[in-house]
Amino acid sequence: MNAILILIALVTLGTAVAAMAGRDLLRSVLLLAGSWTGVAAFFLWAGAEFAAFAQVLVYVGAISMVVLFAVLLTRRAREEPARSPASRARACSGVLAGGAVAAVLLAAVARAPLAAAPGPAPAVTVSQLGGELMGPQAAALLVAGVLLTVALVGAVVLAAGDRPAKTEDAP
């Protein structure tokens, strides 16, 4: 059981590191789709099938496609300039900060008094989840729907061109 988890973790972390370190943006996005699939595999391994399907639909299906569109829309003909000292310093400090956070988190996990043996797997069916979402969590579901609507309208407003304003210019 643990071997499968370690395999999933290695694949997920490896693709994530490769995506974050790579120079080609398109390749990074495709590698991250692999990483998100690894997280979905973890959800399946842990018995949360519905969360795994939501992860595949939202991340691997929708978000990676939207990010690919953004990459293609903002792509420029000229290549990225060679690595400057400033960008190297930024990369070093970023990796240092990430390593420090990882060290703190891993030390906390190693010292935490976690239960030695896991309890029985909680079984949850899709109909149970639906009842939960329509019953006790209905208000949260409505808020999430409003949030998605507002965010998407805001995204359209932000991304839409302001061409008419250009002719009249500022008041």
Partner 1 sequence: MNPLSLCLTFSSLLFAVGLAGALARNNSILVLLGLELMLNAANLNFIAFWRFGPASAPATGVIFAIFSIAVTAAETAVGLALVIALYRHQRGIRLSEATRLKG
- Binding partner 1 by CB under 8 A: which of 27, 47, 134, 138? 47
Q: Closest Cα partner for 47 from 144, 103, 121, 126?
A: 121
Complete DSSP assignment for 154-165: HHHHHHS--HHH
Q: Does 3 bind partner 1 (CB under 8 A)?
A: no
Q: Is 6 in the site for partner 1 (CB under 8 A)?
A: yes
Give residues 70-109 in contact with partner 1 (rule: CB under 8 A).
70-71, 73-74, 76, 86-87, 90-95, 97-99, 101-102, 105-106, 109
Quote helix, strand, coil % in the chain, to nearest 5.
Answer: 75, 0, 25
Would you count residue 148 as binding partner 1 (CB under 8 A)? yes
Residue choice 9, 134, 138, 142 for contact with partner 1 (CB under 8 A):
9
For the CB of residue 93, give the shortest distance to partner 1 in the complex, in Å.
7
Cα angle vertex 108, ends 15, 106, to 5°? Answer: 25
Instruction: Figure out which of the listed residues 2, 77, 164, 168 binds partner 1, where binding follows CB under 8 A.
Output: 2
Element housing 51 (H / E): helix 49-55
Report if residue 51 touches partner 1, rule: CB under 8 A: yes
Nearest approach, Cβ of 34 to partner 1 (angstroms)?
12
Q: Which of 82, 112, 167, 169 binds partner 1 (CB under 8 A)?
A: 112
129's CB contacts (< 8 A; 6+ apart) are: 50
Helix axes 138-159, 126-134, angle to 10 degrees: 80
Does the footprint of partner 1 cover residue 135 (CB under 8 A)?
no
| Eight-state DSSP code of residue 116 | S
